[in-house]
Every structure is written in C-alpha cells, then in structure tokens.
Chains A and B, each alone.
Chain A
Amino acid sequence: MFNFDIVTTWLHNLLTGTLGLPEWGAILTESILVALAIITIYAVFAIVLIYMERKVCAAFQCRLGPMRVGPWGTLQVFSDVFKMLTKEIINLRQTDLFLHNLAPFLVVTASMVTFACLPWNAGAHILDFNVGVFFFLAISSIGVVGILLAGWSSNNKYSLIGAMRSGAQIISYELSIGMTMLTMICLTGTMQFSEICADQAVNGWNIFRGHLPAVLAFIIYLVAGNAECNRGPFDLPESESELTAGYHTEYSGMHFGYYYLAEYLNLFICAGMASTIFLGGWAPLHIAGLEGFNGVMDAVPGFVWFLGKTFFVVFLLMWLRWTFPRLRIDQILSLEWKYLVPISMVNLVLMALVVSMGWHF
C-alpha cells in the first residue's frame, strides 16, 4: 500500500543532504511548503464543495444547477470567487471595527487548523499528536468565538440574535461530538488520528468493529456534526427567512467570503472526521477471507479511500440539508439535551462494556 512517508523522507533528505540545509532550515522550509499546500488544498476543496452543493441541491430540486459558465457550469464557482474577491469590504459606522474585522479570521483560522488535523494517507498527516482528538475538539471551538464576536460587533439585532443562537447551539452540540468521539476512542485506545487509522487498517473499520454502539455513535455524530457546521436543518444562526443572514448580515466582500469558505470546509472537516473515526480514514475495505478482493482494494491509494468516504458523508449531509425544514431554537436544544446527550452517555457505557468484555470484532 502506498505510504506517503516515502515522499516526506525523500524531501527531507533532499533538503538536508543535497541542498545542505541545516536541520532547522529544512524543517522551516518544509513547514512553509506544507502551509502553502494546505491553504491551496483548502481553497480548491471549497470550490469543489460549493460546486458539488449546487449540483446536488439542483438534482434534489428537479433543476440542473449552474450550466452557463464553462462546460456544465464548472467555471461558475471560480467566477463567483473572483467576484467576491473584487467586492468592497464595507465598514459600518458604530460598529466595533477591530472585533468586526477580527471575527472572520478567527473563524477561518479555526477551520484551517482543524483541516490540518485530517489524516490524508498513511504517512500524510500534518498535525498529529498523541492527544489529536482532544486538540481537534479544542481548536474547532475557536470558531464559535469568531461567530459570537461577529454578532456582537456588527451592531445589528439580527446578527446578535443569530450569534446567540449559534453560541447556544454549537456549545451544546460539542458535547455530543465529544461524547461520540470518546466512545470511539474507547474502542481504538488511542487519541492519535494516524494511529486510529492504522489500527482500522489492521483490525477493520470501527463502524463494523464496534457494531451497535459504533453505529449509534455514527448517527449521533452526523446529527451533531451537522449542527456544528450550522447547516440545515440546523442553520438557525443564519436562518435566512428569520434573521436574513444571522451573524454575518453585516459582512461584505471577502470577509463574508471567509464565513462562506469556513462553512463549506467545516462540512468537509466534519465529514472527514466521520470517515477517519468511523469509516477507517485511508484504510481500504477488507473482507476477511477474500484475499484477492483485499489485494485489489489495497491497490487503491489511501487518499482516494479517504476522499471517497469523506465525499460520501458530505453527500449524506447535503441530502439531509436539502430535505428537511429548519428546526426551532427550543427544539434544537431539547433534541441535544434531552435526547442526544443521554443517548450518547449510555452509548459510551455500552461501548466500554463491549470493549471490556471483548464483544467487538
């Protein structure tokens, strides 16, 4: 199976050996290259996701979606991005300008750092600690600070209500996310994303290994993850028909663009995490006893597996979004606190029981 370590080791040897850079110089150069790569991938994925959303949504709605700009409308998103880049950033009077301008950066930074946590392939992971899951949860919470600041600093009542909703919603649903992740950590015994994936490559995907509690955790994760991304049916913070655009009502140009970018990448990150923790990340599908089949599966590189699974989950989330109407704030909170949190707590105990009794595969 293709291991990305070959590339990284070769690059490191090239920098230190052939180019004769000192160790710190090589690491600095590598960091810059990785940062550039990750930002580029971030932007490209945003464009891919927006195009996908428009086409998927159109398919659900008996439409074609963008068709005019480029073949099958493929250039539509590029022109949209270009438009957004050229638009004026409007500063309003009587707003807290510093916080107003800071807020989108917080959101997009949180999103980029969590993006860097994803294990793309064996050996291709950027931020990979032994407490990776913990780090991921901590960093993703910074986003909500950006949203709250955006609502507060806009001097707009709609924004404020949207930000407050968002705060209440995201903080609540982080509980479920944490709990379901804990459930799966219980099974894998490690918090390091690379090891979680490596473990699944050997022992089979977690969702099969952990059977009932894992499937339950997967469903709860999808619901909570969708809520974390502020996407329909949990798009209350920006609920268009109630609060016009919620917390980003007063943003224009690329500042708005950052929220837009972060929304789509958060969707991808949410799906990426789901595929890492539940669906084996880059681990190929193995069926015990079918050696030939497993050999073919192994021939497919890991990042293809990862992206395939992630886009499958993205499609599931889009399907949800374009089917359901929006919930009301009290219904969202009661769904979380009265149903999801108790269920995921019981599920955690169940998983602990399964693991300690060795009932898993």
Chain B
Amino acid sequence: MNDMNMEKKGEAQAAAQPQAAQPKAAPAAAPAAARPAAAAPAQPAKNQIEPECVAPEALRERMETLKNKEGYDFLENLTGFDWEADGLGVVYQLASTADPSRRVNLKTLTTDRENPYLPSVADLWDIANIYEREVYDFFGIRFTGHPDMRRIFMREDWVGYPMRKDDETEKNNPLRMTPEPLSDFTETYTLQSDGTVTKSQRRLFEEDEYVVNIGPQHPSTHGVLHFRVSLEGEKIKKIDPVLGYIHRGVEKISEKMTYPQTLALTDRLDYLGAMQNRHALCMCIEQAMGVEVSDRVKVIRTIMDELQRIDSHILFFSCLCQDLGATTAFLYGFRDREQILDIFEETCGGRLILNYNTIGGVMADIHPNFQKRVKAFIPYMRKNIKEYHDIFTGNVIFQNRAKGVGVLTKEQCISFGCTGGTGRAAGWHNDVRKLRPYAAYDRVQFNEVVRSEGDSFARYMIRLDEILESLNIIEQLIDNIPEGNFQEKMKPIIKVPEGLYYSAVEGSRGEFGVLLESKGDKSPYRLHYRSTGLPLVAVMDTACRDNMIADLITIGGTVDYVVPDIDR
C-alpha cells in the first residue's frame, strides 16, 4: 500500500508540470543548417529534449495509444534515472518509422526508493525487455508485468544498485572469490487490481534440457559474450544471453569525470566505431553548449567516420569468413584493414583507440599525407571488394549457409530496435545520416543501402555495399576539405547548461546515441549511451530459434555485434 501512496505523489508532481504535457518532436530533427549560433544561449539547444511526464498509473494506457494508435513503433531508447529527491524514473524516447520526423519523449517516475515499481512496456516493444532489465539492474526499479526480471550485467548475488546516486557499491560488494551464480529461474512481478505487487517464479531451462554454454570464452562470440543455448540435437530451442562479463560501468564512471575526460571512454565502447562514438558525445556536448564547429572540422569528422565504417565493415567481412571456416578470406580482409589503420595512425597516433574528436573540434589537424593516402586507398578498396565477392560471396557453400538463414522481418527489426545494417537488410530505412543529417552529410550524395530479404545474406551484402557508399562519400569530400580552425577555442572548464540532451550518429552497426543530463556542472549528471549492439544481442533468440548451431554462428556474425558496446 505504501507503494501506492508514493506513486500518487509522483502523479501530483506530474500534474505540477503542465507545460511539459504535450509530446514534443525532438529539435534534433531539424536540418543541420538551422543550427543556432553560439551566441544565442536564450534559445533551447538544438538537441535538448523535454520529456512529457506521465504518472506510472497512466503510463500503460498512454504507451498503448502511442504504439497502437499513433504509430510510434520504434522505442529508440529507454533510460533509467536517479533524480535523488525527485525519485527514480525512466525516460522513454519513441519514434515513428513511417514518419521519422515524429518523435516523442516521455518520462515516468516513482519516489519510493525502497521498493520502486513501474509498469513494464516489454509487451509493446520487444527491446524494452532487455532495456528494462538494465534499468532494474542499475536502479532497482522493478517493472510489473515484465516476463523476465533478472539482473543482466551485474552478478546475480550483487548487493545494491550501482547507478543510484546513494549506492555504496564498494562497501557492499567486496571482491568475491566464489564462482558467479547463474540461476535457472526468473521472476515476474504482477500488479494486482488492489494495488499490491505479487511475485512469481518461472523456470528458464528445464532439468533435462541439453544446455550448452557458448561463451564467455568462445571463438565466434566476438568478445566475452555468453549464450546459454538449449539444444535438441543440433537444433536450437532457446537462447538466453548472459551479459556483463566486461561491464566497466562507463556511464557511472562518467558521472565523476569532467566532460573532456568522459571522451576517453567512448573509444572503448564499440572499438570498431571509436570515431563515431566520440563524434556523438562531442556533438551532444557542443550542441548543448551552443558551440558551432568549423566546416573543416565537420568535413574531417565525416571522412573519419566513414573510414571507421569501412574499417568496421572489413572486419565484419573478415570475422564472418573466419567464423564460417574460410580462413583465407579472413586474411584478405585484414590485409586491407591495415591500410585504414595506417591512415588513422598518421593523423591520430592511434590505431584502435583513436582519441581524435574533442569538444569543439578535433585533437590535431590532418597529417600532410592524409589526403594523398586516402585518395590512393579509394581505388585500391574498390578493386579489393571485387576480390571479396570472388572468393567468398559467390561461393556456393556460403550462399547455402546464409540465404534464408536467420530471417528477421522489418517489424521484428523495428520492435527490437535493430538499427544499422541489420535493420536495413530487412527494409527499414533507419540511417541517421539520412534521417537527421549531421556533420557534413547534408552536402554529400550517397545512397542508403537497403534490401528486403532480412536474411544473413542480405545483412552481409548490405555491409559490403556500404563500404562502396562510404568510399563515395569520402571521394566527394577528400578534395574539398575547407580551410578553417581544426578546433574551437573552448573555456578551460567546460560546463553544459542544465537540461536533457540527446544526439545520435550513425555508428558502424546502427544508431549510436548519447543521452546527457546536465545540472550545469562540470561533469554530467547522467550520461547514457544508446548501445548499437544491445538490440542485436536481444534479437538473437528470435533469429536463431529452430536453426542449427552452425547457423547461430552465421547469424551472430551477420548481425555484427561488438561486446564492449553491449557491456558498457
């Protein structure tokens, strides 16, 4: 009953903010040219969002209307917050795939810190299942009606909820020398009509099921990822991903760091999208502060992002070949990726961890050789793509193993939030570079590569075709890098004005977003990254059921997740 009182308080708070009651399209949808000048702090920042507050009791109804009647079928982001005295809450960012300019942001909160309950939306958007587990894991908010309320990143015997502002993480959790427990049971909390919450338990794997652990140390999971796979012969009956083996708490660490320091962590998320990740965070902070970067920086960032995308897609090709047993093609890919890493090394000094973007520009101007080498690389890569097709794409064994395997429909991709190549392979136009152009993407001609089959082969072809598109983009820009500053003069201590900001870029494997809440301080109040890989892991169960073990490898390879980005 106590919960109900608390929730009523939340409702009262919601009523006290009538100005936020209309759904607002995120200002980020405006074209890039309409960016406000730096000297106009009175205007709201381009990427600021003001979520409409909904009381927990009204949330289900509101969400059902938005999903079923108003066509908001894409849950872009679901983020947990600890607003201390104001309570614990969740911010939902919804978008409509039919009309990408329509976006709505909602938030809900509860002031009960002991037993916080909020209604689940996992039945409306499939991806909410895993997002809500993440919020439960870090903030302790239990979602009523969620079918699988377990921790997802932390150990099952973890004490406390580490992202809460008052959590005493280190005191409660000394270094444990015991093996990590892994329960076969999961819990569901149900809100009864009288307002009480009941808990029920459910078995994940039956006693006599043949469960094989794929990972955490496995050659084809591309990192420290663990799937519990229930088999019937060679056939997959069910997959339960176990995440968090390399969770570093990047979001939590960032809350203690100044803004320039937080940048260093982004390269370590999706290490094959280091440029884009850092670009997203820099862009988010710059837009929030109203800083306009020079054209030179925009073009350099665009070229770097595209080089990074080619790098990532070549590695995708290599690893897929390796997973399918074609070791020779694997080395062909690595031979070509080396060229990009050399180009990066000259300008950035790093090959994998690049540390190139900074708030207000880039760390250093491009190397004198940069343009020459990139221009040499473009025809070289175009020629080698043909070689990839010769050695691997046309191979009858590969075609048999990839065509029709792991089909994901457009609806499934949207519901699971699988952006990037995986979504585009199913026919979902989700390229952020097209939908909400940023940097220099509004001044280049390129095609958004989309296919309709949704199978592993389509996902593979999308990536190879995207390499060619990226080369086109680079070709258009490389001779036209405008003169200008490579860095804006910033204040020694960077403070972001109070507010909630969201910026997204097209990462190597989907939409990479940064949700930043600032209290006007020199470090973020809450920094959340929309992981590109988490939806891709969440969709594995759906994609793999009734396929063979060997198909799990193909599907895992073609959806192309990178683990450090899932375990942030």
Chain A residues engaging chain B, CB cutoff 8 angstroms: 57, 60-63, 157-158, 161, 165, 232-233, 235-236, 239-244, 322-331
Contact of A325 among B218, B324, B335, B548 (CB under 8 A): B324
Q: Answer whether residue B398 sits at the interface, using C-beta atoms and an 8 A cutoff.
A: yes
A326 to B395, CA, bound (A): 11
Q: List 8 A-B contacts (CB under 8 A).
A: A161-B549, A165-B234, A240-B219, A241-B325, A325-B395, A326-B550, A327-B401, A329-B548
Contact of A328 with B325 in the complex, beta carbons under 8 Å: no
Residue on A with the closest CB to B220? A241
**B326-334, B348-356, B559-567 - interface stretch:** B326-334
Inter-subunit contact B323/A241 (CB<8 Å): yes
Asked whether B210 lies within 8 Å of A235 as measured between CB atoms, the reply is: no
Are B212 and A232 closer than 8 Å at their CB atoms? no
From B325, which residue of chain A is reached at the shortest CB distance?
A: A326
Further 11 A-B residue pairs, CB within 8 A, beyond A232-B325, A241-B322: A61-B328, A61-B332, A157-B212, A235-B325, A236-B550, A242-B549, A324-B325, A325-B326, A327-B401, A328-B400, A329-B548
| A244 in contact with B218 (CB, 8 Å) | yes
Complex Cα–Cα for A330 and B397 (A): 12
**B366 shortest CB reach to chain A, Å:** 30
Measured CA separation A236–B553 after assembly (Å) = 13
Complex interface: chain B residues within 8 A of A330 (CB): 234, 548
Q: Which residues of B contact A240 (CB under 8 A)?
A: 219, 325
A158 B212 Cβ-Cβ under 8 A: yes
Contact partners of A243 in chain B: CB under 8 A: 549
Residues of A within 8 A of B220 (CB): 241-242
Question: In the bound complex, how far is the Cα of B554 from the Cα of A327, in angstroms?
Answer: 11
CB contacts (< 8 Å) of B218 on chain A: these are 244
In the assembled complex, which residues on chain A have CB atoms less than 8 Å from the CB atom of B212?
157-158, 161
Q: How large is the interface on B (under 10, 10 to 19, 20 to 34, 35 or more residues)?
A: 20 to 34
Contacts A157-B210, A240-B219 given; does A233 touch B331 at CB 8 Å: no
Contact call B397/A325, Cβ cutoff below 8 A: yes
* Bound form: Cα–Cα A330–B552 in Å: 14
Chain B min CB distance to A119 (Å): 34
Query: Is A239 in contact with B332, judged by CB distance below 8 angstroms?
Result: no
Answer whether residue B83 sits at the interface, using C-beta atoms and an 8 A cutoff: no
B548, closest chain A residue (CB): A328
- Asked if A328 and B395 sit within 8 Å, CB to CB, the answer is no
Which applies to chain B's interface (DSSP): helix, strand, loop or mixed? helix
Q: Which 9 A-B pairs have the closest CB atoms?
A: A326-B325, A325-B326, A325-B324, A61-B331, A241-B220, A328-B550, A241-B323, A325-B325, A157-B212
Contact of B550 among A57, A157, A232, A239 (CB under 8 A): A239
Please report the C-alpha to C-alpha distance between residue A331 and residue B234 in the assembled complex, in whole angstroms.
Answer: 13
Determine whether the beta carbon of B395 is less than 8 Å from that of A329: no
Contact pattern, B 530-568, Cβ under 8 Å of A = 1, otherwise 0: 000000000000000000111111000000000000000
* B321 contact set on A, CB distance < 8 A: 325
Q: Does B391 contact A (CB under 8 A)?
A: yes
Residues B401 and A325 in contact, CB atoms below 8 Å apart: yes
User: Chain A residues with Cβ under 8 A from B551's Cβ?
Assistant: 328
Closest Cβ–Cβ distance, residue B126 to chain A (whole Å): 27
Alpha-carbon distance between A326 and B553 when the two chains are bound, in angstroms: 12
| CB contact under 8 A between A241 and B324, given known A62-B332, A325-B398, A327-B397 | yes
Once the chains bind, are A326 and B322 in contact (CB under 8 Å)?
Answer: no
Q: Give B210-224 interface residues, CB cut-off 8 Å to A.
A: 210, 212, 218-220
- Beyond A61-B331, A240-B219, A324-B397, is A329–B550 a contact (Cβ under 8 Å)? yes
Contacts of A326 in B (CB 8 A): 324-326, 397, 550
For A241, the chain B residues whose CB sits under 8 A away are 219-220, 322-325, 553
- Are B401 and A331 closer than 8 Å at their CB atoms? yes
The answer to whether A63 touches B331 (Cβ under 8 A) is yes
Q: Which residues of A have CB within 8 Å of B231? A: 161
Note all chain B residues with C-beta closer than 8 A to A244: 218-219
Do A239 and B325 touch (CB < 8 A)?
A: yes
Q: Which residues does chain B contribute within 8 Å of A236, judged by CB atoms? A: 550
Of all chain B residues, the one with the shortest Cβ separation from A235 is B325
Q: Does B158 contact A (CB under 8 A)?
A: no
Nearest A residue to B405, CB-CB? A328
Whether A62 contacts B391 by the Cβ 8 Å rule is no
Complexed CA–CA distance, A48 and B327 (Å): 22
The answer to the question of B392 belonging to the interface, with a C-beta cut-off of 8 Å to chain A, is yes
Q: How far is the CA of A60 from the CA of B327 in the complex (A)?
A: 10
Q: In the complex, what residue of chain A is closest to B217 when comparing beta carbons?
A: A244
| Residues B117-144 near A (CB distance < 8 A) | none
Q: How long is the Cα–Cα vector from A233 to B391 in the complex, in angstroms?
A: 14
Determine the chain A residues whose CB is within 8 A of the CB of B552 once the complex forms. Answer: 242
Contact of A329 among B219, B234, B324, B331 (CB under 8 A): B234
- Residues B328 and A323 in contact, CB atoms below 8 Å apart: yes
- A165 to B549, alpha carbons, bound, how many Å? 12
Residues of chain A lying within 8 A (CB to CB) of residue B328: 57, 60-61, 322-323
B401 touches A324 (CB 8 A): no
Interfacial chain B residues near A327, Cβ < 8 Å: 397, 400-401
A91: min CB distance to chain B, Å:
21
Answer whether A325 and B549 are a contact pair too, CB < 8 Å, given A60-B328, A157-B212.
Answer: no
- The reply to whether B397 and A242 contact each other, CB–CB distance below 8 Å, is no
Q: Which residues in A have their C-beta under 8 angstroms from that of B325? A: 232-233, 235, 239-241, 324-326
Q: Tell me the chain B residues, 307-345 only, with Cβ under 8 Å from chain A.
A: 321-329, 331-332, 335
- With both chains docked as a complex, state the minimum distance between the C-beta of B225 and any C-beta of chain A, in angstroms: 14
Q: Given A157-B212, A328-B551, A329-B550, A61–B397 Cβ distance below 8 Å?
A: no
In the bound complex, residues from chain A placing their C-beta under 8 Å from that of B553 are 241-242
Chain B residues, Cβ within 8 Å of A331? 397, 400-401
Question: Which chain A residue shows the least CB distance to B229?
Answer: A157
Q: Determine the chain B residues whose CB is within 8 A of the CB of A57 once the complex forms.
A: 327-328
A61 to B328, CA, bound (A): 5
B424 CB to closest chain A CB (Å) equals: 24
Question: A322 with B327: in contact, given A158-B212, A327-B397, A331-B400 (CB under 8 Å)?
Answer: yes
CB distance from A95 to the nearest CB of B (A): 18
Q: Max chain B CB contacts within 10 Å: which of A233, A322, A324, A329?
A: A324
Report the separation of the CA atoms of residues A161 and B213 in the bound assembly, to the nearest whole angstrom. 13
> CA of A236 to CA of B550 in the docked complex: distance in angstroms?
9
For the complex formed, measure the closest distance between the CB of A169 and the CB atoms of chain B, giving whole angstroms. Answer: 12
User: How many Å lie between the Cα of A62 and that of B331 in the bound state?
Assistant: 8
> Which of chain A's residues has its CB closest to B322's CB?
A241
Are B322 and A324 in contact (CB-based, < 8 A)?
A: no
Which of A161, A233, A329 interacts with B397 by CB under 8 Å?
A233
Residue of A nearest to B391 (CB): A323
Cα separation A335 to B220 with both chains bound (whole Å):
26
Instruction: Give CA–CA (A78, B356) in the complex, Å.
Output: 46
Given the complex, which residues of B lie within 8 Å of A322, measured CB to CB?
327-328
**How many angstroms from the CA of A60 to the CA of B328 in the assembled complex?**
7
- The residues of A that contact B323 with a CB separation of less than 8 Å are 241
- Complex: A240 Cα to B400 Cα, angstroms: 20
* Inter-chain contacts of B400 with A (CB < 8 A): 327-328, 331
Most buried by A among B328, B391, B553: B328
Nearest A residue to B221 by beta-carbon distance?
A241
Whether the pair A242, B550 counts as a contact (CB closer than 8 A) is yes
Nearest B residue to A243 via CB reads B549
**Assembled-state Cα–Cα distance A330/B322 (Å):** 20
> Residue of A at shortest CB range from B398?
A325
Which residues of B are found within 8 Å of A324, using beta-carbon distances? Answer: 325-326, 395, 397
A328 CB to closest chain B CB (Å) equals: 4
Q: How far is the CB of A336 from chain B (nearest CB, A)?
A: 15
Query: Distance (Å) between the CB of B39 and the closest chain A CB?
Result: 55
Quick check: B210 and A61 within 8 Å, CB to CB?
no
Give bound CA distance, A60 to B330, whole Å: 11
Residue of B nearest to A62 (CB): B335
Which chain B positions have C-beta within 8 A of A232? 325
List the B side residues contacting A325 at CB < 8 Å: 321, 324-326, 329, 392, 395, 397-398, 401
Would you list which residues of chain B between 54 and 92 have a CB under 8 Å from chain A? none
Neighbouring B residues of A63 by C-beta, 8 Å: 331
Task: Report the bound CA distance from A143 to B327 in whole Å.
Answer: 27
Q: Which of A158, A323, A325, A331 has the most CB of B within 10 A?
A: A325
